[in-house]
Amino acid sequence: MTLPVLANLAAALLLLAVVYHLQRRHASFTVRVFTALGLGVVLGAALQALYGAHSAVVKTTSEYLDIVGTGYVKLLQMIVMPLIMVSIVGAILKLRSANSLGKISVLTIGTLMITTAVAATIGILMAKLFGLSAVGLTSSAAEVARGAYLEGKLADAQAISLPNMILSFIPANPFLDMTGARKTSTIAVVIVSVFVGIAAIGIADKKPDLFVSFDHFVKVAHAIVMRIVTLVLRLTPYGVLALMAQVVATSSYADILNLIGFVAASYCALLLMFGVHLAIVAGTGLNPLRFAKKILPVLTFAFTSRSSAGAIPMNVQTQVRRLGTPEGIANFAASFGATIGQNGCAGIYPAMLAVMIAPTVGIDPFTASFLLPLLAVITIGSVGVAGVGGGATFAALIVLSSMNLPVALAGLLISIEPLIDMGRTALNVSGSITAGTLTARVLGETDVAVFDSDAEPDENADDGADDGADDSGNANAKNRAQATA
């Protein structure tokens, strides 16, 4: 290890110590996350300024930062499947009604699909407004290689059909899906959990003693899993710092400037769609500004980690502890939202790509004969997009191949892909939270007192149902309890 790398790591450790100091001083979770975000940007910018984005020193430093950043994401992914299973089984045992389960599923999935169609429409409008076109763009060696890679993946995308995608949700081997081995493992685990919950309800009257034992087991498992979630979420600021430093240090500003039109159009579309989410929340009678403030920490993590699936634990905790959404609904929304109807990756991105690439083969993208099939393909194709890195690429392949457009041209955006993906992922998570909030509100299940409260959730609560706030949350929890009494 060289002296510059040692100096860089020492600086990183110093910044991590600053975040730890904030935790010891009981700074709020939101403050810690945004402080870590800012420190990560400063560290990443300093590394690039000193050594250059593609230098060996930055590469080696990034590998060590990866232990903190990607290590944190992996810890979150570790608890995703157990969290989904125990939470959904527990929620069904409380519901005791398949009717309620059906309403939750229909409302959640319907909201995700409809908002994806709206997101695609916004993406098309932004592409028109900014005059985006792939005509005349030149390819570097990396972009050519990326195009060849995408063409190699084309056969897999073309083999996907709606019936095949629905079949892939069915868990032939639930133990395999518990490992997250398939792109649709998240939905498969949801389905397994639903079957387990319904089966347990079925023995409630016939074998009440066994049901009571199973119910107790689920509660114990739930408490343990949620406690693990709490412990992992306390590490969020450290993970955000490391992830942000890596992104900033390794980004090529020259490449970003070359494609600044696409970057600007993408983020305008993302911000407009976020405005649509706030409008939906406002339409339910809730305060959209309060909603935005409460979900900012989880959106920040999604932005830096670029993993909708990895954000599931924090997504659920935010809905439950900050927005007053029941845990069952929150888990359904977060789980389905990581795979179905991703507004950013499966809505805006493929729509903008299709509009950009269409003129290269002589197609006018702004005709009804092109736009209507495009919106239909995007909405249906958004089912089953994996909530991890690469999901947007897969969605784009499905859309471009279905519209008979050259997929290799998508490789032209390789240099700015990480920057765009950060915003897309944050919007995906915002969409799933919006779906959960709307579903809970329509069913009359929202705890408005929790939504309206400005108190930080208690990070040391035994059930672990919090968002990683500081120890001072104990006093806040006590005050809420007294107010309720």
Q: Per-residue DSSP letters for 333-379?
A: HHHHHTTB--IIIIIIHHHHHHHHHGGGGT--TTSHHHHHHHHHHHH
Query: Quick one: pLDDT band at residue 292, thresholds 50, 70, 90?
Result: very high
Query: Quick one: pLDDT band at residue 336, thresholds 50, 70, 90?
Result: confident
- Where is average pLDDT lowest: 293-307, 420-434, 446-460? 446-460
Rounded mean pLDDT of 281-291?
A: 95
Rounded mean pLDDT of 34-39?
A: 92
Residues 153-164 pLDDT 10s = 555 555 556 677
Better-predicted residue by pLDDT, 295 or 407: 295
- Taking a C-beta distance cutoff of 8 angstroms, is the pair 139, 147 a contact? yes
Q: Is the pLDDT of residue 484 over 50?
A: no
Q: Is the pLDDT of residue 172 over 80?
A: yes
Q: What is the pLDDT of residue 412?
A: 64
Q: What is the pLDDT of residue 384?
A: 60
Q: Is the pLDDT of residue 318 over 80?
A: yes
Q: Is the pLDDT of residue 134 over 80?
A: no
- Taking a C-beta distance cutoff of 8 angstroms, is the pair 217, 15 a contact? no
Rounded mean pLDDT of 69-84?
A: 88
Q: Is the pLDDT of residue 439 over 90?
A: yes
Closest CA to 124 of 377, 302, 308: 377
Q: What is the pLDDT of residue 385?
A: 63
Rounded mean pLDDT of 434-445?
A: 94
Closest CA to 16 of 71, 59, 60, 77: 71
Q: What is the pLDDT of residue 141?
A: 45
Better-predicted residue by pLDDT, 126 or 401: 126
What percent helix, strand, coil does the chain show, rounded to 5? 75, 0, 25
Q: What is the pLDDT of residue 370?
A: 92
Kindly compute the dihedral angle of the four CA atoms of residues 123, 128, 132, 134, in this order, to the nearest 10 degrees: 90
Q: What is the pLDDT of residue 327?
A: 87
Rounded mean pLDDT of 389-398?
A: 69
Beta carbons within 8 Å of 252's beta carbon, 6+ residues apart: 53, 54, 415
Rounded mean pLDDT of 84-90?
A: 86
Q: Is the pLDDT of residue 397 over 90?
A: no
Chain-wide mean pLDDT for the chain? 83
Residue type, 257: L
HSE (CB half, 13 Å, CA atoms) of 266?
Answer: 25
Question: In whole angstroms, what is the distance from residue 12 CA to residue 372 CA?
Answer: 50
- Taking a C-beta distance cutoff of 8 angstroms, is the pair 327, 439 a contact? no
- Where is average pLDDT lowest: 5-9, 114-118, 193-197, 401-405? 401-405
Q: What is the pLDDT of residue 470?
A: 41
- Taking a C-beta distance cutoff of 8 angstroms, is the pair 299, 423 a contact? no
Question: In whole angstroms, what is the distance from residue 225 CA to residue 286 CA?
Answer: 30
Query: Quick one: pLDDT band at residue 310, thresholds 50, 70, 90?
Result: confident
Question: In whole angstroms, what is the distance from residue 258 CA to residue 246 CA?
Answer: 21
Beta carbons within 8 Å of 365's beta carbon, 6+ residues apart: 124, 127, 354, 355, 358, 359, 371, 374
Rounded mean pLDDT of 406-434?
A: 82
DSSP-H helix ranges across 96-233: 98-129, 141-158, 162-169, 174-177, 185-202, 208-233
Kindly compute the dihedral angle of the four CA atoms of residues 445, 451, 456, 457, in this order, to the nearest 10 degrees: 0
Judged on CB neighbours under 10 Å (0-12, 13-18, 19+), 437 is buried
Rounded mean pLDDT of 195-223?
A: 90
Q: Is the pLDDT of residue 271 over 50?
A: yes
- Taking a C-beta distance cutoff of 8 angstroms, is the pair 467, 231 a contact? no
Rounded mean pLDDT of 453-472?
A: 53
Beta carbons within 8 Å of 337's beta carbon, 6+ residues apart: 108, 112, 308, 315, 387, 428, 429, 431, 432, 433, 435, 436
Superfamily of domain covering 3-484: Sodium:dicarboxylate symporter (1.10.3860.10)
Q: What is the pTM of this model?
A: 0.76
Rounded mean pLDDT of 286-295?
A: 95
Q: Is the pLDDT of residue 222 over 60?
A: yes
- Taking a C-beta distance cutoff of 8 angstroms, is the pair 82, 421 a contact? no
Q: Which helix (H) or strand (E) holds 76?
A: helix 56-95
Better-predicted residue by pLDDT, 269 or 157: 269
340 φ, ψ to 5°?
-115, 135
Biggest alpha carbon distance in the chain?
72
Q: What is the pLDDT of residue 80?
A: 84
Rg of the chain in Å (alpha carbons):
23
Residues 239-263 pLDDT 10s = 999 999 988 888 777 767 767 888 8
| Residue 61 DSSP SS3 | helix
Distances (CA, A) of 263 to 72, 319, 478: 28, 30, 46
Rounded mean pLDDT of 437-441?
A: 95
The two three-digit tokens of residue 107, written as one number? 């409302």
Q: What is the pLDDT of residue 139?
A: 52
Q: What is the pLDDT of residue 323?
A: 95
Q: What is the pLDDT of residue 169?
A: 81
